[in-house]
Amino acid sequence: MHLACSECGAGAAADELFCDACGGLLAFTLEPAAFDGSHLKAAFRERRLSNDPLDTSGVWRYRELLPPIAAEAVVTLRENVLPLYAAVRGGAYAEARNASYLHLGMNPTASFKDAGMTVAISHAKSAGARVAVCASTGNTAAAMAAYAARAGIAALVLVPAVGISEAKVAQTLDYGATVAAIEGDFDRALEIVRALDPRRFAIVNSVNPYRIEGQKCAAFAMLDSRDWRVPDWIVLPGGNLGNTSAFGKGFREALALGLIDRLPRIAVVQAAGAAPFARLFENGGELVPVRAQTSATAIKIGAPASWRKALAEVRTSAGTVLAVTDDEIADARAVIGRDGIGCEPASAASLAGLRRLRNAGTIGAGEDVVLVLTGHVLKDGAYAARYHTSSASFANPIRSAATDGALRALIDQVLAVRA
Ligand code: F0G
């Protein structure tokens, strides 16, 4: 594995964050010729029977394909052990017969960030870092705080002072991080973090290539649990676009290693008020940042850092990028809830996007589609509560049962529905 600039190809040292020559993002490159695919598959499968913490992690189980980090430095919370659920109501809602949810919200801190954070914090620990820092809309903050706590590294997070989920901030505080609420949005917070000296701080936003290496393991874990059967499409929400670049990298590597025989197509879904990548995909050229506005606060991002990497992955996979409205996200999220699954608003962009792509005929009714859910329903309980007191089509308000009579009437109603 070697580290180089993802844009100009110049080599880079392991403790750098941006390319010396052009300022581009760094990325690890794997040498597929060094591996035997069938041997790897057997080893990955065997590790599922083991109780070694490295084997029970859905990241470190794939350690041959990660940057080398000494086992003693590894900080793991058994992340990236991921359920795939049939999308029954969600599939019907989108008129897709063969859709499933890959729930990355079923992680130790309840979002997909844990898969990347275990690698980034383990690297920081092995490099002797004392302070980890990130900009966040909430989930990166919680993940960094948890892994830094386990590593004995101090954690400082920069979050927008307004408009992020209270539950995520509370969770981050619980893990002992220092939370700095800045004036400005996520894009401003990331600007501040990017200007810090990476020799003094371990910067663990997804501009950190170790994060991407961990997150690409979600692609491996998904394929592994499908016995390496490749879906036709994978649909995921896009914000800063680190996760899109990670999934794309994972699939390309799986193909190069002979673990799979083709690439799934990647569909990235943005919120309409925070959709500079969707606009770029349509119009071409360079990314034009926007002032982001959406109630899906996790993806309220106007200047995504990883757009070049993500664009390359979408194009390589013959994929697509689209935007959906906040109302579409809200209704799709409620439908996912009724599948007995649930997720936070940003995650539901995937189902809202699938519905659009089915309507447009881009995705066929019988195609095999994996919808990526990035965060747990409890990440934003306030949003769910608001939704159910609004008049939206899938709302489910709390009924009044202040008297015995009212309660009995309600019980009769519920029984009538069940009969
Ligand atoms: N879904 C959720 C729940 C997220 O928290 C994020 C990003 C995304 C999707 C988008 O992923 O940035 O890789 O394209 N959250 C970051 C954070 C920005 O700070 O927690 P992306």
Cα 159 to ligand 1 centre (Å): 13
What one-character-per-residue DSSP string does 313-348 give? HHHHTT-EEEEE-HHHHHHHHHHHHHTT----GGGG
Percent above pLDDT 90 for the chain: 94
Specify the pLDDT at position 14. Answer: 77
Q: Is the CB–ligand 1 distance for residue 297 below 6 Å?
A: no
CA angle 145, 171, 245 (to 5 degrees): 60
Residue 211 has pLDDT above 90, yes or no: yes
Residue 246 near ligand 1, beta carbon < 6 Å: no
Segment 104-116 mean pLDDT: 98
Q: Could you tell me the distance, in angstroms and rounded to a whole number, from the CA of residue 301 to the centre of ligand 1?
A: 9
> Which CB contacts under 8 angstroms, 24+ apart, belong to 7-13?
7/308
CA distance linking residue 69 with residue 124, whole number of Å = 10
Q: Which helix (H) or strand (E) holds 371?
A: strand 368-373
Q: Tell which atom from ligand 1 comes closest to the C-alpha of 215.
A: 13
Pick from 324, 337, 277, 270: nearest CA to 298? 270
Amino acid at site 152 = G
What is the whole-number distance in angstroms between the Cα of residue 28 and the centre of ligand 1? 21
In whole angstroms, give the CA distance from residue 249 to residue 214.
11
pLDDT for res 167:
98
Residue 189 has pLDDT above 80, yes or no: yes
Which ligand 1 atom minimizes the distance to the CA of 111? 3
* Alpha carbon nearest to ligand 1 atom 10, residue: 239
pLDDT digits (tens, 9 = 90+) for 324-360: 999 999 999 999 999 999 999 999 999 999 999 999 9
Q: How far is the CA of 44 from the centre of ligand 1 (A)?
A: 28
- Residue pLDDT, tens place only, 222-235: 999 999 999 999 99
Is residue 302 lining ligand 1, measured as CB closer than 6 Å?
A: no
What gap in Å lies between CA 195 and CA 135, rounded to an integer?
Answer: 12
Distance 326 CA to ligand 1 centre (A): 16
The confidence score (pLDDT) of residue 291 equals: 98
Q: Which numbered atom of ligand 1 lies nearest the CA of 239?
A: 14
Query: How sure is the predictor about 391, in pLDDT bands with cuts at 50, 70 and 90?
Result: confident
Distance of CA 248 to the CA centre of its chain: 13
Mean pLDDT for the stretch of residues 34-48 = 96
When pLDDT is averaged across residues 245-249 and rounded to a whole number, the result is 98
Pocket test for ligand 1, best of 25, 104, 111, 204 (most atoms within 8 A of CB): 111
pLDDT on residue 392: 74
The rounded distance, in Å, linking the Cα atoms of 389 and 334 is 13
Cβ(172) to ligand 1 under 6 A?
no
Predicted pLDDT of residue 293: 98
Could you identify the atom of ligand 1 that is nearest to the CA of residue 134? 19
- Ligand 1 site, residue 140, Cβ cutoff 6 A: yes
- 352: part of which helix (H) or strand (E)? helix 349-359
* Residues in contact with 11: Cβ distance below 8 Å, sequence separation at least 6, in sequence order: 2, 3, 4, 5
Work out the pLDDT band at 247, boundaries 50, 70, 90. Answer: very high
Beta strands in 30-172 (DSSP E): 84-86, 98-103, 131-135, 154-160
Residues of the chain above pLDDT 70, percent? 100
Atom of ligand 1 nearest to the CA of 245: 13
Ligand 1 atom with the smallest distance to the CA of 301 is 18
Is residue 348 within 6 Å of ligand 1 at its C-beta?
no
User: If you measure from the C-alpha of residue 418 to the centroid of ligand 1, how many angstroms do you get, rounded to a whole number?
Assistant: 38
Per-residue pLDDT tens digits for 133-185: 999 999 999 999 999 999 999 999 999 999 999 999 999 999 999 999 999 99
Inform me whether the pLDDT recorded for 418 exceeds 90: no
pLDDT of residue 13: 85
The answer, yes or no, to whether residue 417 has pLDDT greater than 90, is: no
* Ligand 1 centroid from CA 347, angstroms: 9
Of 125, 114, 21, give the one whose Cα is nearest residue 71: 125
Cα 353 to Cα 268: distance, rounded to the nearest angstrom? 8
Burial of 366 (0-12, 13-18, 19+ CB in 10 A): exposed
Ligand 1 neighbour 206 (Cβ under 6 A): yes
From the CA of 86, how far away is ligand 1's center (Å)?
23
Which of 346, 360, 314, 364 has the alpha carbon at shortest distance from 91?
364
Residue 103 to residue 89: CA distance in whole angstroms = 16
- Contact status, residue 175 vs residue 147, Cβ threshold 8 Å: no
What is the rounded CA–CA span in Å between residue 279 and residue 8?
25
The answer to whether 302 and 269 have CB atoms below 8 angstroms apart is: no
Query: Over the chain, what is the mean pLDDT?
Result: 96
Q: Is 347 in the pocket of ligand 1 (CB under 6 A)?
A: yes
Read off the pTM: 0.97
Facing residues of 98 across strands? Answer: 368
Residue 347 alpha carbon, nearest atom of ligand 1 = 1
pLDDT at 160: 97
**Backbone dihedral angles phi then psi of residue 184, each to the nearest 5 degrees:** 125, 175
